[in-house]
Amino acid sequence: MADINWKEIVKDYKEDFIEDLFTLLKIDSTRDDNAATDEYPVGPGPVKALDAFLDIGKRDGFSTENFDNWAGHIEFGEGEEILGVLGHVDVVPAGTGWDTDPFEPVIKDEKIYARGSSDDKGPTMAAYYAMKIIKDLDLPVSKKIRVIIGTDEESGWGCMDHYLNVAETPDFGFSPDAYFPIINGEKGNTSVQMKFQGNNGEQAKLISFQAGLRANMVPQDAEAIVEVDNPAELTEQFNEFLEDAPVSGEAKLEGNKVTITLIGKAAHGSTPEHGVNAATYLATFLNNFSFDKDAKAFLNVAEKYLHENHDGKKLGIDYEDELMGHLSSNFGIFNFKTDEGGEILANMRYPQGTDEETILSQFKETLKDEVVEAVLTSGGKAPHYVPTDDPLVETLLDVYGRQTGLEAHEMVIGGGTYGRLLDRGVAFGAMFPDSVDTMHQANEFMAIDDLMRAMSIYAEAIYELISK
């Protein structure tokens, strides 16, 4: 509102905000299926982070509720309509390549380095503090606001499936888990699992091949163990390969076996072109040797159809829509063990005009002579769009434009956010056009100034949305 200087007000909250954010960042809230129980649906880490966030809400006098350790919310205001702010406290695996402990947050050059600092603990905490400011100022509101906290955004969204089954669905809302000015359109999201048998030939054997942490991450690390007649020659050629490839690695010999490791660059699966896929580079090198049968098929698919195939064209699944842009493809999980078999998991972000069944059908047609089976995995999501003339979109863009002086325009992304769970749901920040995006990467960070700017925008936008 014109008579409230939100930018000045948020300055008084900076120290407390950072302290509370550090409390969350110190918790390793990676999903752990091996430790999952009825009490901890996705493992204890995400639940610990959820409880810590809810405790902060209780401390500040808000109403809170935990929904079976899947999700929770912190509530303020009164009225029939509900504004939902949907964030999450789970994080992708830390991976390798960090200069600091990913769960011991540090501030360097006014940036907070930690897993989850930008995706999504930092932005969600900024949105929470925006609500806290409105409460502290005792401003009149005519609607409820709920900061809804999920624990499974990076995997299957089971947290929000559960929450929306047992709690009231917000009438409208946003997710602080993407970019400004606004994300009012999101591509569809689907994954295809390619399956292989585990047979090898005689001249060269692929004992194992492993890469990737999640389908929605570009694999930074890859490792293969091979058995060949001339391991020294393979090692020499590998070192030559490294001279011209944008990767690093090493080869270790043990008799006729060679263990090869490769390091690329991680990136978010919705923007695979920003990463360097260690798995497909490793397969490209190995496919020069005399592998046979299923091992050959595994390597051949990775090199011929997946390597540097960010738009899916090599698979025949490429598609482009005027509003939502082009399909993107990420190949995030690679596993092969001799005699046991293998799999490759591909994740596609697709625009309106195509669908997951069409994508699967083309996978099968293109790879019919290579893979044993190709199937869709669960959890696919259709494209989502909220028009620019919706009052929610208009209000958010107006506040962003007034506070930043920058152009406020609509955007469509390949990433999936909780915003798409609501018919009138969007993603709103917290990354600015000039922010450095390190989501899902080693040395993830978020600039403190960006978080404070986002907090100010969130405070004004939330107040306008719940005071009308």
Catalytic residues: 90, 153
Contact 50, 71 (CB under 8 A): yes
DSSP state of 49: H
Contact 227, 203 (CB under 8 A): no
Rounded Cα distance, 249 and 447, in Å: 31
Q: Phi, psi at residue 374, to the nearest 5°?
A: -130, 125
DSSP state of 170: P
Contact 460, 131 (CB under 8 A): no
The CA–CA distances, whole Å, from 196 to 246, 320, 342 equal 28, 30, 5
* Token pair in block for residue 92: 């992708």
Q: Which residues, in sequence order, are CB contacts of 243 under 8 Å at separation 6+?
A: none
Rounded Cα distance, 211 and 328, in Å: 20
Please choose, from the candidates 53, 34, 50, the residue with its C-alpha nearest in 3D space to the C-alpha of residue 162: 50
* Token pair in block for residue 28: 């390793």
The CA–CA distances, whole Å, from 152 to 18, 226, 282 equal 24, 36, 31
Please choose, from the candidates 314, 286, 315, 311, the residue with its C-alpha nearest in 3D space to the C-alpha of residue 298: 286
Contact 253, 238 (CB under 8 A): no
DSSP state of 229: S
> What is the number of residues in the chain?
468
Rounded Cα distance, 30 and 49, in Å: 10
Contact 266, 304 (CB under 8 A): no
Q: Compute the CA torsion angle 74, 79, 81, 85 (nearest 10 deg).
A: -20
Cis, bond preceding 279 (omega within 30 deg of 0) = no
Query: What pairs with residue 395 in β-bridges?
Result: none
Q: Phi, psi at residue 362, to the nearest 5°?
A: -70, -35
Q: Compute the CA torsion angle 382, 351, 90, 451 (nearest 10 deg).
A: -130
